[in-house]
Structure 1
Amino acid sequence: MIPEDTGATRAANKPEGRQAVPANLNVALSLAQIAASVALLVGASTFGFSVLGAACVITFTFVMQTGFSLIHEAEHDKLHPTRWVNDALGILTAAIFPGSFQFMKVAHLSHHRKNRSDAELVDYVRNGESFALKTIQYYALITGVIWLGVPLLSALIALTPSFGSEPTDETPKSGAALYLQFVREARPYRVRLELIFVVTLWTLILKVLPISFEALAVSYGAFAFSWASQQYVYHIRTPRHLVEGAFNLRLPRALELLYLNFNHHLTHHRNVMVPWIHLPELSERPERAYLATYLDLWRPPEPVERAFPVQFQAKGPLEARPTLPEAANASYVRRD
């Protein structure tokens, strides 16, 4: 088992300087993504079960991937340099996902602390685990259950009473303690307020626009499948290392732009505060093809003995980061 987080790994992730955030571009992309997503739902409702309706649904799944990439930027406080604008855009974009931005942010930052640890080892069966149960869980996750968990767990956190004590750095020892620690970090009162906004926004959208339940269900079902499987493609069967346990995957440039360079995922884990627009400048051209890696994702979990043995895991400090061109290496200043 690898440690979930250490001072060394935190230092490895700490940027030497924050790169310039494309603030105006990100605002425009966020608003355009929301408008396009809603318009495609209207299109799917209008054209129904037809070629045009199917085209709207398929396009919706890709546009929503852009939305998730924008949420991801906001989770790392790099969608906009002004905090309230960053959070407002995150809340608005997450509402279309749909879910609580605060919940999604806490869950994602937890992933950066636990990547490839036992807590996130979905692709290997450890000693004492049932192969059949692990396989069922694995395929459930990559076919959409993880997406369904976002609105459901957001609601669960919202219904959980707030706790007075602040989150601690201590590692919880039990499942209940782990959940309570997560609740404290998520701050239920914020999740409640965000879900009130989500419900209000969707009530308004469905009241004003001709969106059918069937189109909504089919569109989000397709997105859930697409998004869930692509969440795991960057980590399955990677080294059991907090930072190095990710892939950079090769995509056509058009898809890279649509995904906001999310496919440069290993580079992101090495440089968590670098905005999406600069990631290719820090990456060598990925050797692994996206499609081949995606197809490999559908193999069932394997015995943990086939994972990267401890003696072959990356140790010590990471290699020095390459520097961006001077123009792109402008200091990042957050304005609260």
Structure 2
Amino acid sequence: MSSPELVASARLTSAERPSDAPAEVQASPPGAATAASRSYKALIPARLNLLLAALFGVSQAYFLVLYPLGLLAEPSAAIAALVVSVALSYPSWVLIHEGIHNMLHPARDTNDRVSRLLSVLHGSPFAVLRLVHLLHHRYNRVEDYAEAYDPARTSWLKAAVHHYYTVLAGRYWSEVLACLIVWLPQGRRDRVIRDMIGDGEMGKRIQSTLSRKDTLGEARTDAALSLALLAASFWLYRHDVWVLVAALSGRALLVSFFDDAYHYGTARNLPEAPQPARNHELGPSWLVLHFNHHGLHHRYPSLPWRSLPAKAREEGLVFDGGFVASALRQLRGPIPLADLPASAPPAASQAGSVSRAKDSKGSAATEERT
């Protein structure tokens, strides 16, 4: 099968692949693996992804451990390397995202082990990152809209504090906080999740999945490693703690600021409607592993990052604004729920779009790991 044919088949095969996600996350029943579903693996740039994982792993280890150990003696070179390491935090997160969708490597064990290692360096358990992100695909703009608030229940000031904290740092720190949440007794853990996520279906599914011994055990193991690494970093930086705080703040800003930018102010969704997410133009989009094609990713979540530009060209994709300028729109502040655009029920003429939406939601829980 040619590369273009593989790209075209990625949407279809996402719903055909056997499920690896917890039952609580699944959006559609798993199907039998087919030749088409297996062929999509040819699109995964496995060797390149492993090289990138090594690069990102070393970069994150540098600013956490190697910089304070004086690996580079020349101060200007050491500081320059530190800045680059912090900047690489964002593409490192994007590669973890590939692992969440089982697109980092075709082999299940390799995909998971590399993803878990990168997640420990990122400061959060991979099991939690995967669970929350797959549920984001299912509940995007149905329950999951970070910038929106209900004026009848929340004041603008309270919503603004929450919004600006979330987009400037909080999105990342909530991922780090998961390292502590997974150690709480189940009752208290469920209450914390309910306070953070809400009492809708998304929060309930997170609670349910984290009650599973296998998922919780993996999350606790990775959380312990993440916390130990963070504690070691603070000890190594004990004479210059402000440097580590600045580096972690830079990572938190990059991950948080660009993570929700694609969804800010988009329409409220219906379960059967197309996924609302924007695509932001960035010339050297390889710098972020083409993550700026985010709306396209929500429609074709089985498509590896290197295949997104080809799919964009095939569909004649028109970007919704620049990468940085669009992210800056978040600084306009929180938006009342009633002011969000409303999704109209999809008409028969939109059958193709609806099909893509269903495939997108289904694939959030049926990513293949063989």
TM-score bin, normalised by smaller chain: 0.7 to 0.9
Following the alignment from structure 1 to structure 2, what is the Cα–Cα distance between the partners of residues 271 and 176?
25
Q: Deviations over 1:74-132 (max 9, x none)?
A: 00111001101000000110011111011111011111111012x32222333523222
Letter in 2 for 1:125: Y
In 2 relative to 1, CA 225–44 (structure 1 residues): closer, same or farther, beyond 3 Å? farther
Following the alignment from structure 2 to structure 1, what is the Cα–Cα distance between the partners of residues 304 and 203?
35
> SS at 1:80's partner residue?
coil
Following the alignment from structure 2 to structure 1, what is the Cα–Cα distance between the partners of residues 307 and 83?
28
Q: Once the 2 structures are TM-superposed, how far is the Cα of residue 44 of structure 1 from its aligned partner?
A: 7.4
TM score, norm. by length of structure 2: 0.70
- Return 5+ residue gaps in structure 1 as ranges: 163-171, 322-332
Q: Once the 2 structures are TM-superposed, how far is the Cα of residue 265 of structure 1 from its aligned partner?
A: 0.3
- CA contact 2:141–2:268 (8 Å) conserved in 1: yes
* Residue number in structure 1 paired with 2:332: 299
Q: Once the 2 structures are TM-superposed, how far is the Cα of residue 201 of structure 1 from its aligned partner?
A: 5.4
Q: Once the 2 structures are TM-superposed, how far is the Cα of residue 289 of structure 1 from its aligned partner?
A: 1.1
Letter in 2 for 1:279: L
- CA contact 1:82–1:334 (8 Å) conserved in 2: no
- Return 5+ residue gaps in structure 2 as ranges: 1-24, 188-198, 357-366
Following the alignment from structure 2 to structure 1, what is the Cα–Cα distance between the partners of residues 85 and 63?
6
Structure 1 stretch displaced more, 151-160 or 103-112: 151-160
Among candidates 38, 48, 65, match of residue 61 of structure 2: 38
Among candidates 294, 297, 321, match of residue 265 of structure 1: 294
Following the alignment from structure 2 to structure 1, what is the Cα–Cα distance between the partners of residues 236 and 162?
39
Among candidates 89, 99, 103, match of residue 74 of structure 1: 99
What is the aligned-residue identity percentage? 20
Following the alignment from structure 2 to structure 1, what is the Cα–Cα distance between the partners of residues 332 and 137?
25
Q: Once the 2 structures are TM-superposed, how far is the Cα of residue 56 of structure 1 from its aligned partner?
A: 4.0
Among candidates 30, 44, 60, match of residue 21 of structure 1: 44
Q: Once the 2 structures are TM-superposed, how far is the Cα of residue 37 of structure 1 from its aligned partner?
A: 2.5
Alignment coverage as a number of residue pairs: 304
Q: Once the 2 structures are TM-superposed, how far is the Cα of residue 307 of structure 1 from its aligned partner?
A: 1.3
Letter in 1 for 2:221: L
* Residue number in structure 1 paired with 2:153: 129
Among candidates 277, 290, 308, match of residue 246 of structure 1: 277
* Residue number in structure 2 paired with 1:165: none
- CA contact 2:132–2:206 (8 Å) conserved in 1: no
Q: Once the 2 structures are TM-superposed, how far is the Cα of residue 36 of structure 1 from its aligned partner?
A: 2.1
Q: Once the 2 structures are TM-superposed, how far is the Cα of residue 313 of structure 1 from its aligned partner?
A: 7.3
Following the alignment from structure 1 to structure 2, what is the Cα–Cα distance between the partners of residues 102 and 83?
14
Letter in 2 for 1:275: P
Among candidates 211, 215, 225, match of residue 184 of structure 1: 211
In 2 relative to 1, CA 57–235 (structure 1 residues): closer, same or farther, beyond 3 Å? farther
1:66-215 maps to which residues of 2 (within 5 A)?
Answer: 66-117=91-142, 119-126=143-150, 128-130=152-154, 131-161=156-186, 177=204, 180-184=207-211, 187-199=215-227, 213-215=241-243
TM score, norm. by length of structure 1: 0.77
